[in-house]
């Protein structure tokens, strides 16, 4: 029999930031660039950290998008694991960018909110009349490639966003392609585990959308954007 050497792969833990509140009690929109974790989000982040600590996972690098909700989530994870490690910022992994809500015709609002996360989504589809899926891929994937080219790490933690996570997971599911699966659920505070080898197509998905406080997602049947759209409509009518 010919000799066989097991492939060597490295581990990417890909998290979504913990829960946040985008509307205050009066219905006023809170700036998504500055919004912090809410109480539920803080607990989600700490719960994820406890899972990593229990499994004795140690990170070589921790990278966030730079938005406060990703930084705070990463810091809470590290507080639980006891690691003192510098949190790095990769602006290319900011969340998919929307346009101005007030400029979207009323009849187009539902599609603008929900279309990007509905099934297999064409690259031309825009999120809230802003960035397209193609533009999202164009900025997210080069940063993924650069991360893989860096041989200094074995285990990395990325704390990012629902849309960005879907782009990375879709890329992995298609072994390096650009098909966007908008219906991949990403609960706030969830953990995904992906392994990467040396070849660009060498992706192995180990876990998707693991949510430590509620592993079976028992009480959730709607997506984040569906809930946000419902809130937006309710506050707009009040």
Q: Could you tell me the pTM of the whole model?
A: 0.94
Residue 103 placed within a domain? no
Q: Give the containing element (helix H, strand E) for 207.
A: strand 203-210
Which of residues 231 and 175 earns the better pLDDT score? 175
Which of residues 27 and 64 earns the better pLDDT score? 64
pLDDT band at 33 (very low <50, low <70, confident <90, very high): confident
Tell me what pLDDT residue 193 has.
98
pLDDT band at 73 (very low <50, low <70, confident <90, very high): very high
Residue 3 placed within a domain? no
Give yes or no for residue 102 having a pLDDT over 80.
no
Residue recorded with tokens 């070589």: 60
pLDDT band at 76 (very low <50, low <70, confident <90, very high): very high
Check residue 83 and give left, alpha or beta (phi > 0: left; psi -120 to 50: alpha).
beta
Q: Report the mean per-residue pLDDT for the chain.
A: 93
Q: At what angle do helices 133-149 and 162-173 cross, to 10 degrees?
A: 70
Domain that holds residue 151: 10-95+133-221
Average pLDDT of 96-102?
85
Q: What is the pLDDT of residues 150-187, one digit of tens each?
A: 999 999 999 999 999 999 999 999 999 999 999 999 99
Tell me what pLDDT residue 41 has.
97
Tell me what pLDDT residue 9 has.
98
Residue 87 placed within a domain? yes
Average pLDDT of 49-60?
98
Tell me what pLDDT residue 27 has.
64
Percentage of residues of the chain with pLDDT beyond 90: 78
Residue 72 placed within a domain? yes
Percentage of residues of the chain with pLDDT beyond 70: 98
> What CATH number corresponds to the domain at position 44?
3.40.50.1240
Residue 28 placed within a domain? yes
In whole angstroms, how far apart are CA 193 and each of 26, 63, 196, 206?
39, 15, 10, 5
Give yes or no for residue 29 having a pLDDT over 80.
no
Residue 164 placed within a domain? yes
Residue 118 placed within a domain? no
β-bridge mates for residue 29, sequence order: 23
Check residue 37 and give left, alpha or beta (phi > 0: left; psi -120 to 50: alpha).
beta
Tell me what pLDDT residue 238 has.
60
Q: What sign results for the dihedral spanned by CA atoms 212, 215, 95, 165?
A: positive
Residue 181 placed within a domain? yes
Q: How many structural domains comprise the chain?
A: 1
Question: Residue 150's closest CA among 52, 14, 10?
Answer: 10
Angle (nearest 5°) at CA 27 between 22 and 31: 35
201 is in an annotated binding site: no
233 contact partners, CB below 8 Å, separation of at least 6: none
Tell me what pLDDT residue 103 has.
84
């Amino acid at each position: 029999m010919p000799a066989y050497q097991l492939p060597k792969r490295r581990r990417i833990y890909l998290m979504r930031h913990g829960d946040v509140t985008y509307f205050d009690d009066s219905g006023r929109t809170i700036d998504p660039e500055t919004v912090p974790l809410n109480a539920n989000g803080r607990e989600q982040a700490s719960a994820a950290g406890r899972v990593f600590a229990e499994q004795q996972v140690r990170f070589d690098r921790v990278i966030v998008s730079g938005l406060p909700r990703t930084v705070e989530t990463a810091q809470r994870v590290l507080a639980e694991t006891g690691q003192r490690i510098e949190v790095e910022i990769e602006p290319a992994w900011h969340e998919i960018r929307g346009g101005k809500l007030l400029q979207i015709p009323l009849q187009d609002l539902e599609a603008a909110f929900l279309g990007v996360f509905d099934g297999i989504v064409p690259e031309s589809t825009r999120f809230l009349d802003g960035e397209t899926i193609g533009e999202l891929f164009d900025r997210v994937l080069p940063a993924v490639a650069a991360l893989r080219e860096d041989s200094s790490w074995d285990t990395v933690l990325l704390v990012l966003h629902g849309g960005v996570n879907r782009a990375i997971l879709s890329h992995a599911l298609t072994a390096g392609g650009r098909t966007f699966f908008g219906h991949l659920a990403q609960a706030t505070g969830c953990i995904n585990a992906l392994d990467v080898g040396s070849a660009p197509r060498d992706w192995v998905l180990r876990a998707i959308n693991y949510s430590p406080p509620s592993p079976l997602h028992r009480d959730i049947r709607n997506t984040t954007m569906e809930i946000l759209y419902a809130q937006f409509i309710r506050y707009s009518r009040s």
